Chains A and B, each alone.
Chain A
């Protein structure tokens, strides 16, 4: 065993390159994988947004001629699929990746290579599903792909095959990531980080992983049935063979409703980080926020059939699902009130992140209330399949999830890149987004209540829908403008934004105690956690005086390294000023110099290309199935066997290679 000069107890560790394409392809660092997730999902947001803008251009006035009905079907299907599976979920995953280890005081996730695998599967799945555009056969059966419309009889083309195989691939990514994060949160918390001291974002992420683990297998099976029906001629969704026409709907929504909470809870978590920091108050009712998150997830599994009131399940089922759905409004309402009470009496700072956070609280409530409206079956029968529903879920997902994610990006960009996003451009981004979102989706409530159905590619002039549709379209254009401003802000600030320093906002949790951007090992010394708000304990103890589950900040833990006294844990957390080590756009002019893992003797996992190849072979294996519908069954089988062999050998090579050099 070799020894290093710095610390005799540790071996020499290799320095891994951190620049160049190869370093990105082989990275197993959770932070870099988080960055890959973030930028891929932003690119996908541009594609999904473009699809939305084309649809709005088509619907701007009656008898639109921009696209044909066939293309319109593809647009709304791909818009929904993209925004849900390729934008909001992976953008949440970007934050899970980047933040969970930092917030719990860990050096990486539990399985760094599995983490890289999750990302590459996501990327290849996204490319696969979007490759359908090149063949002119993009999915066209709606994002929920109801059978029997999606069976061979009614959808003979490759469109549905791309959709169904794409979702299978993406499911693998989500499940692998979920196992990883569950293990990370359960097992890798720093000493003293009890569950009730975890930052609330990590808590919501934890809940979401359980939703993923329990919900995704159900859609996997629903898709397997569809796959078998389409490729092998089984009869799962064939009503003439006696099949239940509602089987798909039940299986899909048993997945689909928890999916709604998979999309919103990460944003709730981000907002619960943003509001306390910019109110300079601990989160109001932290335990209740945790419990309500768990309760939302639990109830979320018992309400799926409220998506199916219109199919006629009978009064008993309708009543039960209606009541269960209304129940979810209680824990959600609790969260809304807790956010308001967090801000109440606080020392508010209206940064861009804070504006987006407050917007989530305000606008999500509108979407939540319209949700309670169609939790009632008689109301739902009037509203179902109209633009009222479109208005509802866009208020929840755009004015909810996306506002939270944008706020999260403004809040965490300094930690990720070491530079601040421009607040000046951010203000423009925020206000144009705010006006655009409301101008797009608010009028849809009216067009829906005046009877405009969803998914129609055009409409006649005499329906009284013209003005609402024109408003929605102008709103969509404004949102597109906001998107360009956001992209410009990111592009510009990455090069010339103000240097952030460790803690630009004066935030309470562990991730702000380390340099920005964090070194690959995250924490030079694994922190000893004595509190829910460790940084505030040191900087502004008065703020956390009444927080339970915390020791007072003066109880320092001495740290010994190789039998030598190395200082206090709190010294490591670098107090800075109560408003943060540096204020936005202010003092610092250069990045702090950070010791490398090699200098500190911290062994880091070796970079590896293997997860990428396992993901690639797996995607190609799924893609080969498409050839069956081109009449090339033998070629398809041969390719599947080849790619399966490639995947398995690469997997063995991965599993038999140690994560890091022996020491």
Chain B
């Protein structure tokens, strides 16, 4: 199609030069910030207000199903059977996995933007499908960690109904997990589009907005990991 004068174009260029979808995803992320701010604030406000255990950073006695100490048992047994309910080592591993997914997401976007260029063509670096799938798998792995964490908490007696900690913890991390799940679904959609017709530079926006969302979900997890897990 020949390029007519600006005023008659069916779709004049945008005022900012940005695609509509890019502006919209930023507005959406702004809104999501308030969503997570509300969830995280509630968690922090309710920290230490639970009337019954389990509590986040105290010791949980598995033998007597009691909190803080195991009454009437030997000191050795107490030490062996007590561990914090929030498992920082395991969660550090899942956090690492999620952070790595942001890296693969960046590589996926670069692969799409540079498809066919020297240095990318025919190399792993230029394989958009691989990096998109890798991001989705890392995201799914994070969800696997979360499923493990949730089940182990339930086995140890912490359910969403148990106390304020359970309610606010499961709701906050559950909402984040739901966002990761939506992201994995989005990535798999992109992966199948790539399998079907190959994503190239003209599609980079499709990957770009997904990447913005993915990085946002990642950043939220860093906040949650710091405020919920690390700070006692």
- Is A422 in contact with chain B by the CB < 8 A criterion? no
Enumerate chain B residues within 8 angstroms of A559, measured Cβ to Cβ: 5, 7-8
B interface footprint on A267-303 (CB within 8 Å = 1, 0 otherwise): 0000000000000000000000000000000000000
Given contacts A217-B32, A244-B49, A225 and B6 within 8 Å (CB-CB): no
- Is A218 in contact with chain B by the CB < 8 A criterion? yes
Given contacts A182-B23, A183-B24, A241 and B12 within 8 Å (CB-CB): no
* Stretch of B39-47, B94-102, B123-131 lying at the A interface: B39-47
Enumerate chain B residues within 8 angstroms of A193, measured Cβ to Cβ: 15
- CB within 8 A of A528: which of B7, B27, B175, B189? B7
Majority secondary structure, B binding face: helix
A240: nearest chain-B partner, CB-CB:
B51
Given contacts A187-B15, A228-B171, A242-B50, A525 and B8 within 8 Å (CB-CB): yes
- CB within 8 A of A110: which of B24, B28, B39, B46? B24
Enumerate chain B residues within 8 angstroms of A189, measured Cβ to Cβ: 15
Q: Is the CB–CB distance between B1 and A663 below 8 Å? A: yes
Interface residues of A in 519-567 (CB under 8 A from B): 525-528, 559-562, 566
- Is B14 in contact with chain A by the CB < 8 A criterion? yes
Interface residues of A in 208-259 (CB under 8 A from B): 213-218, 220-222, 224-225, 228, 232-236, 240-244, 247, 251
- CB within 8 A of A235: which of B5, B6, B163? B163
A603: nearest chain-B partner, CB-CB:
B10
Q: Is the CB–CB distance between A560 and B5 below 8 Å? A: yes
A411 to B210, CA, bound (A): 43
Enumerate chain B residues within 8 angstroms of A225, measured Cβ to Cβ: 42, 167, 171
Interface residues of B in 154-183 (CB under 8 A from A): 160-161, 163-164, 166-168, 171, 175
* Stretch of A82-90, A94-102, A172-180, A621-629 lying at the B interface: A172-180
A9 to B6, CA, bound (A): 13
- Is A602 in contact with chain B by the CB < 8 A criterion? yes
A182: nearest chain-B partner, CB-CB:
B27
Smallest beta-carbon distance B106→chain A, Å: 24
- Is B35 in contact with chain A by the CB < 8 A criterion? yes
- Is B202 in contact with chain A by the CB < 8 A criterion? no
- Is B4 in contact with chain A by the CB < 8 A criterion? yes
A209: nearest chain-B partner, CB-CB:
B27
- Is A1 in contact with chain B by the CB < 8 A criterion? yes
- Is B2 in contact with chain A by the CB < 8 A criterion? yes
Smallest beta-carbon distance A180→chain B, Å: 7
Number of residue pairs across A and B with beta carbons under 8 Å?
148
Enumerate chain A residues within 8 angstroms of B52, measured Cβ to Cβ: 241
A228 to B164, CA, bound (A): 12
- Is B118 in contact with chain A by the CB < 8 A criterion? no
Given contacts A183-B27, A187-B23, A242 and B171 within 8 Å (CB-CB): no
Q: Is the CB–CB distance between B5 and A561 below 8 Å? A: yes
Enumerate chain A residues within 8 angstroms of B49, measured Cβ to Cβ: 242-244
- Is A569 in contact with chain B by the CB < 8 A criterion? yes
Q: Is the CB–CB distance between B38 and A111 below 8 Å? A: no
Q: Is the CB–CB distance between B12 and A526 below 8 Å? A: yes
- Is B9 in contact with chain A by the CB < 8 A criterion? yes
Enumerate chain A residues within 8 angstroms of B23, measured Cβ to Cβ: 110, 182-183, 186-187
- CB within 8 A of A217: which of B24, B31, B50? B31
Given contacts A186-B15, A186-B16, A234 and B161 within 8 Å (CB-CB): yes
Smallest beta-carbon distance B175→chain A, Å: 8
Enumerate chain B residues within 8 angstroms of A652, measured Cβ to Cβ: 189
Enumerate chain B residues within 8 angstroms of A183, measured Cβ to Cβ: 20, 23-24, 27
In this complex, how many residues of chain A approach chain B with their Cβ under 8 Å: the count is: 58
Enumerate chain B residues within 8 angstroms of A222, measured Cβ to Cβ: 38
A222 to B12, CA, bound (A): 41
- Is A156 in contact with chain B by the CB < 8 A criterion? no
Chain A CB within 10 A, most for which of B5, B10, B46: B10
Q: Is the CB–CB distance between B34 and A218 below 8 Å? A: yes
Enumerate chain B residues within 8 angstroms of A263, measured Cβ to Cβ: none
Q: Is the CB–CB distance between B171 and A244 below 8 Å? A: no
- Is A10 in contact with chain B by the CB < 8 A criterion? yes
Enumerate chain B residues within 8 angstroms of A220, measured Cβ to Cβ: 35, 38
Smallest beta-carbon distance B207→chain A, Å: 15
Q: Is the CB–CB distance between B14 and A188 below 8 Å? A: yes
A319 to B30, CA, bound (A): 30
Smallest beta-carbon distance A305→chain B, Å: 15
- Is B18 in contact with chain A by the CB < 8 A criterion? yes
Smallest beta-carbon distance A663→chain B, Å: 7
Q: Is the CB–CB distance between B5 and A110 below 8 Å? A: no
- CB within 8 A of A243: which of B12, B32, B46, B161? B46
A189 to B12, CA, bound (A): 10
Enumerate chain A residues within 8 angstroms of B7, measured Cβ to Cβ: 191, 525-528, 559, 561, 569
Enumerate chain A residues within 8 angstroms of B160, measured Cβ to Cβ: 228, 232-234
- CB within 8 A of A218: which of B16, B38, B46, B164? B38
Chain A CB within 10 A, most for which of B8, B11, B39: B8
Q: Is the CB–CB distance between A562 and B24 below 8 Å? A: no
A242 to B168, CA, bound (A): 12
Q: Is the CB–CB distance between A241 and B28 below 8 Å? A: no
Smallest beta-carbon distance A266→chain B, Å: 18
Enumerate chain A residues within 8 angstroms of B8, measured Cβ to Cβ: 7, 525-526, 559, 561-562, 566
Smallest beta-carbon distance A275→chain B, Å: 28
Enumerate chain B residues within 8 angstroms of A243, measured Cβ to Cβ: 46, 49, 164
Enumerate chain B residues within 8 angstroms of A228, measured Cβ to Cβ: 160, 167, 171
CB pairs A–B below 8 angstroms (7 shown): A111-B24, A175-B31, A182-B23, A186-B16, A191-B12, A221-B42, A663-B10
Q: In the complex, given contacts A220-B38, A236-B46, what are 7 additional A-B residue pairs having Cβ atoms less than 8 angstroms apart?
A: A110-B24, A187-B14, A217-B35, A236-B164, A559-B7, A559-B8, A652-B189
A-B CB proximity, top 4 nearest: A234-B167, A217-B35, A221-B38, A217-B34
Taking beta carbons and an 8 Å cutoff, which residues of A are in contact with B? Answer: 1, 7, 9-10, 107, 110-111, 175, 178-180, 182-183, 186-191, 193, 213-218, 220-222, 224-225, 228, 232-236, 240-244, 247, 251, 525-528, 559-562, 566, 569, 602-603, 652, 663
